[in-house]
């Protein structure tokens, strides 16, 4: 007998075709086509939430203003005494009051500062807006810098994004070992702050008898040597220049074939560097990176051209990472860990295996059970169930949604819940058949009666899923996504799909009069 | 195959006293557990660190304990087996803020020499993020309940909404009690499971309520008890069937889903059972308790149906050009 086509079955056929077509790339892992992305908990990787110590950015802004005042006064031969700075202010004494205009004009050009002049005492603080701006900039700069660094690290598609107002989300997939992960973290968090500082020649010999406060009284600071922390260096607190003027850094080798880093400065930096080295022949220059002295060579002659070297006892790999960090610019403010989730690739693979076993196991149980209970009606419900799985996968692939472990659990759960709509419908149809109505009416009214309950029940579940998506984090969002798609897909397959199948088979059911075969009931 | 005969109506409301007794006993037990033993917040909400270590052979737990004693940061840590003898989980209340060297790296260093091992998972949650997640978690539960309340009140009547929320609170409370009883860590996955229970249990309840609504429309002169009995009976096959299929999949998830998904699956397992029970024995009697008036609701529904019919008539007239 010919079976009639109807619009429902046509739409359902399209939905199945859509499901199979777009889920195929994910199932067969083909080269082309959009695929479902696996979450870090399934493929292994590193997820971090970083905080930014923005107050440090303010401190370093003060420091760099102090450095520029020093440089300016030296160039213009303005006599400045006891130039010092703390966490929030810079103070100095102007020895010649004739220079007041020159220096205040210069200070007025520096944005966001409040300059107060009290006779020869000049004090500079940052305005509140400037502090807020500096803090904000520190966060966006940190995001930018970390992204630059990770782009050069060599892992595929690192994610660096702002989360909320002041958190940075970093996600790295494809990390193989704990050691590699630690290397990535070192690269991310490295301040990479290069400073060239003058050694205090007059007092350097006494450095081992000095405390930090003694040094501060002279406008100096005591720094450790990078190779041996017992070795101390006494350097001027205000740097000659800092890494902001660095334009390039790459790995080179010295005459003994040990790795070192060559860096170049921009024009302004080169000029300052040239001026300083020209004035300081015979003295020592400390190359300071992140607060540690890497070397303190004697200046033999004026160094023009603005390039220099950082030598240290590092491996080629370390030198490479360091060069990346320097090139990408220094972090204005240090970052700290707020949250970390790290999953090894083997655990991810185990999770996939375990959830697939649960999915297949649960799926087979449900399918067998439905056939035993409902016979052909059960088979029809099962068709909807299979279609449902394909559609979930297809929609997730198309939208590039991330499949996480809770997401897998969501799919497993959907298998159990997606049959619900068909169960409701089948029960209604059975009921009507018992009441003795015709097959046609039983099917039509069965669907009509079931519709309200299916809608209400699914919408409330959807409300819970949407809330979960909005408030959930990371992997949990994946659960909300699969559950939501699963609910919507189940409504489509149950309401349209199976209805279409029944419509098509209606005549057959009527003629066979075997309700036991079709619906699993007597009569 | 049929679980229940179509011709028979069960007397559920006659047993509602017994059900009420069971529910109150379970709730009391749950709240006592929650008050005395308390929920065991995991790292997601309390902050702290989890390190999962897998050894090539049996994990030398005693040796590990001794080595972890050497550093202050590991004080108060506990080591437990995780699914197999080779795999263990170290839980610590402490977290570190350093990005370069974190407590996971320290653990790796401290355990060097205990055998061949691989660190498979490190979760570090700082105190700030922990309390944020907790706040968000509680907010999400509240919002979901409010959303559902509004929807059900809009689609049915406020008493239905209140009754379904009472059933939800009932289910979630007992699930929390069960979690406390077996001492599971409450993490984000358990929260997700609780929200799923909300949706799932409500699903069942609404199917029954839908029947009650239908029963009210078809006959205003029957008592609410009878309508409820008939509605629950008519939906019993569906309730049982869906609960069974869901139970099947959650059970396979519980057995085969792996250690990480264990707490999630356990919570769902309890939820499926309690949710099914509550939609049959808890939600409907509460309708009675709140004094749901069949006649009143019948009139309301009839008026609504009439309005819609009038509208349809107008539309038909308009479309056929008759005004």
Gap between the Cα atoms of A380 and A371, Å rounded = 9
**pLDDT band at residue A367 under the 50/70/90 scheme:** very high
Q: Per-residue pLDDT for A308 more than 90?
A: no
Q: Provide the chain A residues 430-459 that lie in CB contact (below 8 A) with chain B.
A: 430-431, 434, 449, 452-453, 456-459
Residues 301-360 of A with CB under 8 A from B: 335-344, 346-347, 350-351, 354-355, 357-358
> Would you list the domain boundaries of chain A?
7-44+344-519, 46-151, 190-337
CB count within 10 Å of CB A112 equals 16
Identity of the residue in A361, A456, A479 whose CB atom sits nearest the CB atom of B206: A456
pLDDT at A519 over 80: yes
Is residue A120's pLDDT more than 60?
Answer: yes
In CATH, what number does A7-44+344-519 get? 1.20.1640.10
Taking the Cβ of residue A163 and every Cβ of chain B, the question of whether any pair is shorter than 8 Å is answered with no
- Cα–Cα distances (Å) from A424 to A95, B199, B204, in that order, read 92, 17, 11
Q: Identify the CATH class of A190-337.
A: alpha beta
Residue A342: φ, ψ to 5°: -125, 125
**DSSP-assigned letter for residue B14:** G
What's the pLDDT score for residue A226? 83
Contact A104, A117 (CB under 8 A): yes
Exposed / middle / buried, residue A136 (Cβ in 10 Å: 0-12, 13-18, 19+): middle
Handedness of CA A344, A349, A354, A360 (dihedral sign): positive
* Joined tokens for residue B301: 């529904």
Closest Cβ opposite residue A358 in set B6, B189, B252: B252
Cα angle, residue B29 at apex, residues B24 and B33 outer, rounded to 5°: 145
Q: Name residue, tokens 């081992």.
A: A208
How large is the average pLDDT for residues A298-317? 81
Task: Please check whether residues B26 and B151 belong to one and the same domain.
Answer: yes
Q: How confident is the model at residue A225 (pLDDT cuts 50, 70, 90)?
A: confident
Cα angle, residue A413 at apex, residues A411 and A417 outer, rounded to 5°: 115
pTM of the model: 0.82
Q: How many domains does one find in chain B? A: 2
Place of tokens 């004080």: B75
CA within 13 Å, CB half, A13: 9
Which CATH number fits the domain that encloses residue B102? 3.30.70
- What's the pLDDT at B27? 96
Q: Considering chain B, what is the average pLDDT of its residues?
A: 87
Residue B302 resides in a domain = no
Q: Does residue B147 share a domain with residue B118?
A: no
Other beta carbons within 10 angstroms of residue B84's beta carbon come to 12
- A223 strand-pairing partners: A233
Regions of chain B with pLDDT less than 50: none
Give the single-character DSSP code of A284: B
**CA torsion B177→B178→B181→B182, rounded to 10°?**
-150
Asked if residue B3 belongs to a domain, the reply is no
CA nearest A249: which of A329, A184, A172? Answer: A329
Check CB contact under 8 Å for B248 and A416.
yes
pLDDT for B321 equals 67
Q: Report the pLDDT value the prediction gives residue A443, as an integer from 0 to 100.
A: 92
The CATH number covering residue B143 comes to: 1.20.1640.10
Q: Does residue A188 surpass a pLDDT of 80? A: yes
A 27-86: CB under 8 A from B:
48-51
Across A254-259, average pLDDT:
84
B29 exposure class (CB count in 10 Å sphere: 0-12, 13-18, 19+): middle
How much is the average pLDDT of A365-393? 92
Average pLDDT estimate for A479-489: 90
Q: What is the pLDDT of residue A52?
A: 92
Beta strands B40-41 and B185-186, pairing class = parallel
Q: Name the token pair of A497.
A: 């799909």
The model's pLDDT over A7-39, given as tens digits with 9 standing for 90+, comes to: 888 999 999 999 999 998 888 888 888 888 888
Pairing relationship of beta strands A402-403 and A37-38 according to DSSP bridges: parallel
Task: For residue B186, list its beta bridge partners.
Answer: B41
d(CA A61, CA A64): 5
- Contact of A490 with A343, CB cutoff 8 Å: no
Do A467 and B238 count as a contact with CB atoms less than 8 A apart? no
Rounded mean pLDDT of A464-485?
A: 84
pLDDT at A294: 85
Structure-token match 């690739």, residue found: A345
- In the structure encoding, which two tokens stand for residue B194, read together? 């609780």
Distances in Å between the Cα of A128 and the Cα atoms of A132, A135, A515 are 6, 11, 81
pLDDT at B323: 52
> Please, what's the b/e burial string for B127-155 (b: 16 or more CB within 10 A of its CB; e: otherwise)?
ebbbebbbebbeebbebbbebbbebbbeb
For residue A74, pLDDT over 90 is answered with no
Top residue of B252, B262, B264, B267 to mutate, by most chain A CBs within 10 Å, is B252
Residue A95: count other Cβ atoms within 10 Å of its Cβ.
12
Does residue B40 contact residue B180 with C-beta atoms inside 8 Å?
A: yes
Is B99 among the domain residues?
A: yes
In a shared domain, residues B283 and B156: yes
Residues of B in contact with A477 (CB under 8 A): none
* Residues in CB range of A416: below 8 A, 6 or more apart: A362, A366, B242, B245, B246, B247, B248, B249, B250
Among chain A residues, CA nearest to B208:
A453
Q: Which residues of A117-134 are buried (b: 16+ CB within 10 A; e: fewer)?
A: eeeeebebbbeeebbeeb
Q: Of B82, B109, B125, which residue sits at a domain end?
A: B125
Provide the pLDDT for residue A3: 64
Provide DSSP, A151-168: HTTT-SS-EEEEETTTEE
Greater pLDDT, B241 or A77: B241
The alpha-carbon gap from A310 to the nearest alpha carbon of chain B, in Å, equals 22
Residues B208, B278, single domain; the answer is yes
- Distance, CA of A326 to chain centre: 21
Task: Give the span between the Cα atoms of A238 and A438, in whole angstroms.
Answer: 95
The minimum CA-CA distance between A135 and chain B, rounded to whole Å, is 20
pLDDT band for A277, please (50, 70, 90 cuts).
Answer: confident
Q: How far apart are CA B244 and CA A214, in angstroms?
A: 78
Q: Apex CA A76: angle with CA A70 and CA A81, to 5°?
A: 45
Residue A288: pLDDT above 60? yes
Question: Of A380-389, A449-458, A468-477, B252-261, which range is least confident?
Answer: A468-477
pLDDT attached to residue A298: 85
Q: How near does any CA of chain A get to the CA of B322, in Å?
A: 30
Q: Please name the CATH architecture into which domain A46-151 falls.
A: 2-Layer Sandwich (3.30)
Q: Taking all residues of chain A, what is their mean pLDDT, rounded to a whole number?
A: 86
Enumerate the residues of chain A whose CB falls inside 8 A of the CB of residue B256.
Answer: 354, 357-358, 361
Q: How far apart are CA A92 and CA A124, in angstroms?
A: 9
Of A458, A456, A476, A475, give the one whose Cα is nearest residue A467. Answer: A476
- Model pLDDT, residue B216: 83
Q: Tell me how far apart the alpha carbons of residues B130 and B114 are, in angstroms, rounded to a whole number.
A: 32
Percentage of chain A surpassing pLDDT 70? 99
Per the structure, the complete domain to which residue B166 belongs is given by: 13-40+130-292
Q: How far is A106 from chain B (nearest CA, A)?
A: 40
Residue B214 contacts by C-beta under 8 Å, 6 or more apart in sequence? Answer: A449, B231
Instruction: Pick B97's closest partner by Cβ from A336, A343, A470.
Output: A336
């Amino acid at each position: 007998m010919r079976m009639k086509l109807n619009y429902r079955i046509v739409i359902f056929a399209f939905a199945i075709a859509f499901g199979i077509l777009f889920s195929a790339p994910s199932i067969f892992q083909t080269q082309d086509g959009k695929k479902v992305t696996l979450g870090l908990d399934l493929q292994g990787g590193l997820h971090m939430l970083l905080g930014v110590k923005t107050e440090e950015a303010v401190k370093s802004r003060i420091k760099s203003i102090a450095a520029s005042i020093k440089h300016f006064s030296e160039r213009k031969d303005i006599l400045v005494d006891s130039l010092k700075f703390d966490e929030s202010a810079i103070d100095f004494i102007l020895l010649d009051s004739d220079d007041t205009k020159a220096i205040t004009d210069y200070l007025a050009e520096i944005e966001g500062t409040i300059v107060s002049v009290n006779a020869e005492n000049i004090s500079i603080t940052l305005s509140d807006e400037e502090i807020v701006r500096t803090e904000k900039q520190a966060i966006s700069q940190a995001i930018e810098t970390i992204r630059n660094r990770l782009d050069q690290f060599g892992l595929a598609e690192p994610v660096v994004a702002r989360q909320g107002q002041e958190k940075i989300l970093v996600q790295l997939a494809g990390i193989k070992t704990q050691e590699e992960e630690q290397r990535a973290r070192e690269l991310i968090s490295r301040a990479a702050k290069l400073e060239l500082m003058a050694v205090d020649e007059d007092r350097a010999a006494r450095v081992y008898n000095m405390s930090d406060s003694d040094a501060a009284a002279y406008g100096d600071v005591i720094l450790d040597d990078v190779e041996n922390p017992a070795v101390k260096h006494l350097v001027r607190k205000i740097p000659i220049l800092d890494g902001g003027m660095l334009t390039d850094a790459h790995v080179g080798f010295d005459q003994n074939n040990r790795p070192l880093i060559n860096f170049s400065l921009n024009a302004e930096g080169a000029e300052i560097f040239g001026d300083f080295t020209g004035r300081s022949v015979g003295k020592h220059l400390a190359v300071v990176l992140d607060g540690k002295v890497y070397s303190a060579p004697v200046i033999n002659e004026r160094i023009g051209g603005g390039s220099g070297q950082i030598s240290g006892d590092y491996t080629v790999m370390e030198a490479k990472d360091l060069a990346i960090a320097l090139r990408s610019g220094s972090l204005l403010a240090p970052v700290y860990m707020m949250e970390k989730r790290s999953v090894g690739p083997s655990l991810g693979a185990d999770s996939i295996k375990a959830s697939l076993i649960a999915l297949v196991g649960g799926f087979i149980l449900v399918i067998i059970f439905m056939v035993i209970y409902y016979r052909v009606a059960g088979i029809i419900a099962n068709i909807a169930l299979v279609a449902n799985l394909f559609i979930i996968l297809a929609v997730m692939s198309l939208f590039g949604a991330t499949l996480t472990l809770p997401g897998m659990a969501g799919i497993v759960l959907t298998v159990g819940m997606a049959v619900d709509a068909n169960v409701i419908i089948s029960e209604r149809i059975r009921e009507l058949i018992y009441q003795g109505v015709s097959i046609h009416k039983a099917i039509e009214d069965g669907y009509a009666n079931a519709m309200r309950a299916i809608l209400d029940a699914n919408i409330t579940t959807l409300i819970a899923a949407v809330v979960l998506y909005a408030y959930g984090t990371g992997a949990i969002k994946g659960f909300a996504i699969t559950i939501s798609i699963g609910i919507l897909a189940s409504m489509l397959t149950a309401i349209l799909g199976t209805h279409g199948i029944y419509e098509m088979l209606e005549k057959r059911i009527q003629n066979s009069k075997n309700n036991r075969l079709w619906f699993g009931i007597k009569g | 195959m049929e679980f229940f005969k179509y011709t028979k109506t069960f007397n559920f409301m006659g047993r509602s006293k017994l059900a009420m007794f069971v529910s109150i006993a379970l709730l009391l037990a749950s709240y006592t557990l929650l008050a005395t033993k308390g929920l065991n917040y995991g790292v997601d909400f309390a902050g702290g660190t989890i390190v999962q270590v897998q050894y090539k052979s049996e994990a030398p737990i005693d040796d590990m304990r001794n080595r972890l004693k050497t550093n202050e940061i590991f004080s108060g840590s506990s080591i437990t087996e995780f699914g197999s003898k080779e795999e263990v989980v170290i839980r610590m209340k402490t977290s570190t803020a350093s990005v370069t060297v974190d407590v996971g790296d320290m653990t790796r260093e401290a355990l060097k020499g205990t055998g061949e091992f691989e660190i498979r998972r490190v979760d570090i949650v700082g105190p700030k993020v922990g309390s944020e997640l907790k706040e968000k978690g509680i907010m999400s539960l509240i919002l979901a309940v409010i959303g559902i309340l509004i929807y059900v009140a809009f689609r049915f009547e406020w008493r239905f909404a209140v009754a379904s929320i009472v059933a939800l609170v009932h289910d979630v409370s007992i699930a929390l009690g069960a979690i406390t009883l077996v001492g599971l860590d409450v993490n984000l996955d358990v929260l997700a499971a609780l929200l799923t229970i909300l949706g799932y249990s409500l699903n069942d309840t609404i199917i029954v309520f839908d029947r009650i609504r239908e029963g009210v429309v078809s006959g205003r002169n029957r008592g609410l008890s009878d309508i409820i009995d008939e509605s629950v009976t008519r939906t019993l096959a569906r309730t049982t069937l869906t609960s069974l299929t869901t139970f099947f999949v959650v059970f396979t998830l519980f057995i085969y889903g792996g250690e990480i998904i264990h707490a999630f699956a356990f919570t769902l397992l309890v939820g499926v059972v309690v949710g099914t029970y509550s939609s049959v024995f808890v939600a409907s009697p509460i309708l009675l308790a709140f004094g749901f008036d069949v006649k009143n609701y019948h009139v309301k529904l009839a008026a609504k149906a009439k309005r819609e019919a009038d509208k349809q008539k107008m539309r038909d007239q308009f479309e056929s050009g008759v005004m």
